[in-house]
Amino acid sequence: MFKFRDYLIISLISLTLGWITVRQFDLRRRVSELTKPEKSESLAIEVSSLVEANQKLREEMNKLNQSYIKLTENSDNQTSAKQEIEDNLNLYRIVSGETVVGGSGLEINVQEKLEKPQLIDLLNALRNIGFEAISFNKKRVIYNFSFENTNLNPPYEFRVIGDKNLIRDSLKRRGGILEQINAKADIRESDNIVAPAIN
Amino acid sequence: MIICAKIKVISAPVAQQIERSRPKGKAAGAIPARGTKMSKPIFRKISFSLFFIGLGVGLLLATQWKVRPTRAVSLIDPYLSLKNTNEKLSQEQSALKNEIAELHKNNSQASRNLKENETETKGKVEILEQYKKEIGLVPLNGKGIIIIMDDSSLGDITENSIAHAADLRDTVNFLWGKGAKAISINGERVVASTSIDCIVNTILINKTKITNPFVIMAIGNQNEIFDSLKDSNSLSDIKSRVSEEGLKFEIKKEEVNIPVFNGSFLVKNAKSIN
């Protein structure tokens, strides 16, 4: 005949089994959470982006180190230092948009109407891909460019100086920005793209 | 089992009771033998208990069987490896950026020393410093505004209740349009080459990962920028999500410090024409 102690033992065994079962399911859930494809995919893209970004930072650091050595050289006419200042002036003139700039790149023409957010996203994508100089509808784009005070009626023309193969392939690829904003663009490559100076 | 172990000692009066109730012909004083059939209720209780215990063991075994990999592959290792690499690269990026900021400072100082010693280069160094200020290679401080953008903390998370990279892009575009002189987001200076991107759930600015809350600082005409931001017609998509979804978009007037851009400018082939 069952006594109270018998029921107690069976209850304890069942409780232990139940706890182990729940722990097992929880562990499975946490493992599958951690190894979800989206999480790993996101991490992989971040890592890839970081590798590329860090490489560029190292190059910039080396360039600045070289620049410092030249600026602090101790010679009679300080030729290297003067040349370094001249080189930096040329670079900053281009980046600040003060000079007309020419080089190889592409011209991107869009005939259909785009909304402001689409244009913001397209310019952002070009920045992400990387360019040396760019203009929008014959207006040079520099750090403080805004679509706020700009005529947003089509057609739209971007003149981009940079790696034309990279820019073209990135724009046209499946899932690229043109597909995302649903824009049809004519892309013309040239070795002599000209971006105007800021007004 | 305990059930079979005990032998009841029957007292004399009870033995007589049994004697009276026993069918005739049975020996008097006989005690019910061990191993006789259990009553149905007790049998049912034991069966149910054993059934559930067996079910539990079975489930556990089945789960264990499924989880055990058939080959020597760890599901966690690739993910952890990626995570570790990501952390190391992020730390490396942070160190590189600090070093670049320091080098910019040193180079500026070296240029100024040159200016003092060489009259020929004096004018050029001054122009150089001016360019550096414009393009983001010098930290700036002054009167401006701070915007704090963050996900809603009300209710369930939806696509409209969280801050997106697109919101940051729209805000930056708006601020430049209102005459801002310099902008930063979470300590990252916004320059000509700055892109604000989203990779799954992560936002990158200048290829650097940032997390919410997003603190946007801008130097410029403080009152004009502040009033424009407060206007309900500006940044209408963000404003509607603030009122409907609880997206956070706080604006305040402040003295702000915009840090230096510690990245690189890519110019290899472009040449000035005039």
B 160-179 residues inside an 8 A Cβ radius of A: 166, 169-170, 173-174, 176-178
What does the pLDDT read at residue B156?
80
Does this complex have an ipTM over 0.85? no
Out of A17, A59, A120, closest to residue B264 by CB: A59
Reduced to 3 states (helix: H, G, I; strand: E, B; else coil), residue A159 is strand
Measured between CA atoms, the residue of chain B closest to residue A83 is B121
Taking the CA of residue A44 and the nearest CA in chain B, the distance in Å comes to 7
Contacts of B210 (CB under 8 A, 6+ apart): B185, B186, B188, B203, B204
Question: Is B91's Cβ below 8 Å from some Cβ in A?
Answer: no
Residues B151 and B247: beta-carbon distance below 8 Å:
yes
Q: What is the pLDDT of residue A97?
A: 95
- Give CA separation, B42 vs A13, B49, B54, in Å: 19, 11, 18
Q: What is the pTM of this model?
A: 0.75
CB neighbourhood size of B126 (10 A): 12
Q: What percent of chain A has pLDDT over 90?
A: 52
Output the 3-class SS for chain B.
CHHHHCCCCCCHHHHHHHHHHCCCCCCCCCCCCCCCCCCHHHHHHHHHHHHHHHHHHHHHHHHHHHHCCCCCCCCHHHHHHHHHHHHHHHHHHHHHHHHHHHHHHHHHHHHHHHHHHCHHHHHHHHHHHHHHHHHCCCCEEEEEEEEEEECCCCCCCCHHHCCCHHHHHHHHHHHHHCCCCEEEECCEECCCCCCEEEECCEEEECCEEECCCEEEEEECCHHHHHHHHHCCCCCHHHHHHHHHHCCEEEEEEEEEEECCCCCCCCCCCCEECC
* Chain A residues with beta carbon closer than 8 angstroms to that of B57: 17
- Predicted pLDDT of residue A37: 61
Q: B196 - beta bridge partners?
A: B205
For A58-80, what is the mean pLDDT? 82
Q: Is-contact B149 B186, C-beta < 8 A?
A: no
Predicted confidence at residue B196, as pLDDT, reads: 96
The pLDDT of residue A24: 80
Min distance A186 CA to chain B CA atoms (Å): 22
Q: How far is it, in rounded angstroms, from Cα B199 to Cα A49?
A: 10
What is the structure's pLDDT at A92? 94
- Higher local confidence (pLDDT), B35 or A94: A94
Q: Contact, A117 vs B170, CB < 8 A?
A: yes
| Angle, CA of B101, B106 and B108, to the nearest 5° | 95
Chain A residue numbers with beta carbons less than 8 Å from the beta carbon of B127 are 89
Mean of the pLDDT values across residues A92-109?
95
Average pLDDT, chain A: 88
- Rounded CA-CA distance B248/B212 in Å is 11
B86 contacts A50? CB cut-off 8 A: yes
Measured distance between the N- and C-terminal CA atoms of chain B, rounded to whole angstroms: 104
Hey, are the CB atoms on B128 and A10 less than 8 Å from each other? Answer: no
Instruction: Give yes or no for a contact between A138 and A196, defined as CB atoms under 8 angstroms apart.
Output: yes
From chain A, pick out residues whose CB is under 8 angstroms from the CB of B166.
117, 120-121
Output the pLDDT for position B38.
Answer: 60
> Would you say residue A68 has pLDDT above 80?
yes
Q: Any chain A CB within 8 A of the CB of B271?
A: yes
Give the pLDDT score at B13.
47
Using DSSP, state whether A132 is helix, strand or coil: coil
- Considering only CB atoms, B202 lies closest to which of A46, A68, A88, namely A46
Going residue by residue through chain B, which has 274 residues, state the pLDDT in tens, using 9 for 90 and above: 333 333 344 344 444 443 333 334 434 444 444 445 667 788 788 788 788 878 877 877 776 655 555 555 565 677 888 888 999 999 999 999 999 988 988 888 888 877 666 666 778 888 988 999 999 999 999 999 999 999 999 878 888 999 999 999 999 999 999 999 999 999 999 999 999 999 877 899 998 999 999 999 999 999 999 999 999 999 999 999 999 999 999 999 999 999 999 888 878 889 998 6
What are the tens digits of pLDDT across the range A120-149? 999 999 999 999 999 999 999 999 999 998
Residue with tokens 């004009």, as numbered in its chain: B224
Is-contact B93 A53, C-beta < 8 A?
yes
The answer to whether A23 touches B64, Cβ cutoff 8 Å, is no
Distance between CA atoms of residues B131 and B248, nearest Å: 36
- What residues 206-225 of chain B have any CB closer than 8 A to a CB of chain A? 207-209
- Range name among A31-45, A185-199, B29-43 with the lowest pLDDT average: B29-43
8 Å CB contact of A25 and B63: yes
Asked if A135 contacts A89 with a C-beta cutoff of 8 angstroms, the reply is no
Residues of A with Cβ-Cβ distance to B68 under 8 angstroms: none
Chain A 2-21, residues with CB within 8 Å of chain B CB atoms: 2-3, 5-6, 10, 13-14, 17-18, 20-21
